[in-house]
Structure 1
């Protein structure tokens, strides 16, 4: 009896492997089939450079040198899928793991994708189950053209429900990472709760988020974070940006998004952060020197006693990030400035009131135009207005907005305007 059971234990998997080997197409045929399926789903051509598959010792499918046929192609250097054999033979797609090793995702190219056309009757797309996702050296090219490499790993339960995840910027010191962990179930079965922990630029942020799935499948994300001690200059450097401002920021952030999948949530993310930096430093501009010389000289740094305000970021597919600054207030000794601004696609619109003692109080300043060629209008003392307006609004606001926005995974804002 034992010999019979042992023989069956060996024969059944062997027979299944033989049947799968007989049924599966050649590597060239399978590569062509997968490329065709991907093109039908995305609406753009897809090339697969090479494909290998094996059944033993564990089923695996490896794809190499994948690229979309676009002006700015999306590329994947290596993709490894490890499916479960018996569910696959039964027509179910259950993956033990999916690994991505190297690649580039261009945000501007994503808008060229289209939703797949409905399948013919009787040819519904099978549900996919996945236990673990891991990726390394995956570069995201933002709408503004800045490339940043990421790594990550995530574990899922049945129904592709996220259990835990970690995403980070490899090789950075101090580290920059986001950890997500599912919390105890919410009273509503359609809602999941997650704990959020961020490490960035020597500071941290902790909070919670909820993910609700509506009856039509739409996802709604809401959450809060409390950034503490995030050094603004280091935070921007972590995402390949330079900052005109230094100092540690504290704040309170609310985030929200709706979409049909996680990528849509990221591309439509909205954040609102009330922040305070005390003290702060303008790293490449001496505001007092600019005032004393009526703007003729401004090399140096400016120590700010206080910088505070509200910054909102809104990701929009095809347009990148819009940043709005309201209630911005900066104080440096006897000089104060307040104002608001809107920044998107390297276009700035800003209004400010700069108070300089020495007889100039509430000086109206308007700054607008493309970054690098801003037009400054003031009612009087143009040199002072140009110096103060250019630094206080786009410089400070861009730095704080970028630090908080990038910490939450949004697109990078454009570069700050050159100092005048």
Structure 2
């Protein structure tokens, strides 16, 4: 019996030595310049842009892992990753299958425009459609890492706003997120913390809570999968979020065009084709929001002075007791409708559109009550400029009417003439289609 244990022990020791020698040899091979250059060539050919790499390493301790260091994808703008580490599930490797248990990304800079470009280049490179899953069966997502860790990763949005995050994501066996945590440590939305939790492993539904700007955004999210017999394989995304006490400028920083505490109710909806990329998701998203901003201050525009100068004034600020309205988004387009603002003797209504480029367009009517008699002077204003530098002015027809009204009835006639000129101008526009 002792001899049997002796030989078993010797066999295990020999296997361990061979395993260590194999790991050492593999590390030497992958760490060679020849192997690194081969990886660079393959990646460059696949992505269509130059790719450089500092080192490839295979670690055994404390946990077995394959790592790429100093990865630089030289697109415009460049995508850089200081270290990408993949920890495989070793028992699946023994079965001839690759499964990643943990993927760790450290000190990376990820520009959105570059990621969208690269995703379009590598998507379905052979032009062959993926084999459909059998009826009633979900697609095989076993290749996805069970856990993803982002350490000091900076995301640069399409408009140039950047955020650096610490994040962790865990996936269930079906490939859907089980839970996720995100903390924004630098840049836009700095200080924001978000937590996502799956409600039930049998359902594709989650609860989201975000702490931002001294308030909260929270609510349920749900993805409805198509029936097995359905021809359309789109996923339907739905959500309802309640916003309470969030400082508006925390959402728009570094811009401070509007400050105040935001309360809102938002519904989200999107129909998503799983075969398309993240850009398609952003374009497909539709939201509708009813909001109120308490103790609002509009920076960059003094509406009362704009009325007094018939839209010729720029700069200043407007303090509002209440600002309310509706927001509708379609992809990156933002439309503000049914805007109602009030502050003492001042009241304003209107509609404004925010383009993806942050350009503003719209119309606002501002009424100011003057004198003991309660006379109301109102001026229709055209909203222009950008989110960071808004402006208001009279339309050409309203400006002509204001000039005529001032000549006939100085003071009161200015606003009345502007209103009349604006209505005449709109009528001619509708008549001639210009």
Q: Which residue of 1 aligns with 2:137?
A: none
Is 1:31–1:51's contact at 8 Å kept on the other side of the alignment? yes
Q: Structure 1: how far apart are the matches of 2:329 and 2:185?
A: 25
Cα distance change, pair 118–306 in 1 and its aligned pair in 2 (3 A)? same
Q: Which residue of 1 aligns with 2:294?
A: 278
Q: State which of 313, 325, 329 in structure 2 corresponds to 1:309.
A: 325
Is 1:212–1:221's contact at 8 Å kept on the other side of the alignment? yes
Is 1:41–1:116's contact at 8 Å kept on the other side of the alignment? no
* Structure 2 residue 98 is the aligned partner of structure 1 residue 81: no
How far off its partner does 1:166 sit? 0.7
Is 1:203–1:230's contact at 8 Å kept on the other side of the alignment? yes
Cα distance change, pair 85–18 in 1 and its aligned pair in 2 (3 A)? farther
Cα distance change, pair 361–342 in 1 and its aligned pair in 2 (3 A)? same
Q: Which residue of 2 aligns with 1:148?
A: 163
Q: Which residue of 2 aligns with 1:337?
A: 348
Equivalent residues in 2 for 1:314-333, closer than 5 Å: 314-315=330-331, 321-333=332-344
Equivalent residues in 2 for 1:1-400, closer than 5 Å: 1-16=4-19, 18-19=21-22, 25-27=29-31, 28-39=33-44, 41-113=46-118, 114=121, 115-118=123-126, 128-170=143-185, 175-186=191-202, 191-214=203-226, 218-237=234-253, 241-257=254-270, 258-260=272-274, 263-264=278-279, 267-268=282-283, 269-283=285-299, 285-292=301-308, 301-315=317-331, 321-344=332-355, 345-358=357-370, 363-368=379-384, 376-378=393-395, 379=398, 380-381=401-402
Is 1:174–1:202's contact at 8 Å kept on the other side of the alignment? no
Structure 2 unaligned regions, length at least 5 = 130-139, 407-413, 416-434
Deviations 1:175-218 (A, max 9, x none): 311110111245xxxx5111101100110122111124446875
Cα distance change, pair 65–259 in 1 and its aligned pair in 2 (3 A)? farther
Q: Structure 2: how far apart are the matches of 1:159 and 1:364?
A: 56
What TM-score do you get using the length of structure 1 for normalisation? 0.75
| Higher RCO, 1 vs 2 (CA within 8 Å, ≥6 residues apart) | 1
Q: Structure 2: how far apart are the matches of 1:153 and 1:75?
A: 20
Is 2:307–2:378's contact at 8 Å kept on the other side of the alignment? no
How far off its partner does 1:285 sit? 4.8
Secondary structure at the aligned position of 1:279 is classed as strand
Q: Structure 2: how far apart are the matches of 1:46 and 1:86?
A: 32
Is 2:168–2:181's contact at 8 Å kept on the other side of the alignment? yes
How far off its partner does 1:145 sit? 1.8
Deviations 1:205-241 (A, max 9, x none): 221111244468754422111011101123333xxx2
Is 1:92–1:127's contact at 8 Å kept on the other side of the alignment? no
Cα distance change, pair 23–296 in 1 and its aligned pair in 2 (3 A)? closer
Alignment size in residue pairs: 372
Is 1:206–1:226's contact at 8 Å kept on the other side of the alignment? yes
Cα distance change, pair 174–348 in 1 and its aligned pair in 2 (3 A)? closer
Q: Which residue of 2 aligns with 1:394?
A: none
Two-structure CA RMSD over aligned residues (Å):
3.7
Based on CA coordinates, which of the two structures has the bigger radius of gyration?
A: 2
Cα distance change, pair 174–68 in 1 and its aligned pair in 2 (3 A)? closer
Secondary structure at the aligned position of 2:394 is classed as strand
Is 1:93–1:126's contact at 8 Å kept on the other side of the alignment? no
Q: Which residue of 2 aligns with 1:388?
A: none
Cα distance change, pair 270–65 in 1 and its aligned pair in 2 (3 A)? farther
What TM-score do you get using the length of structure 2 for normalisation? 0.73
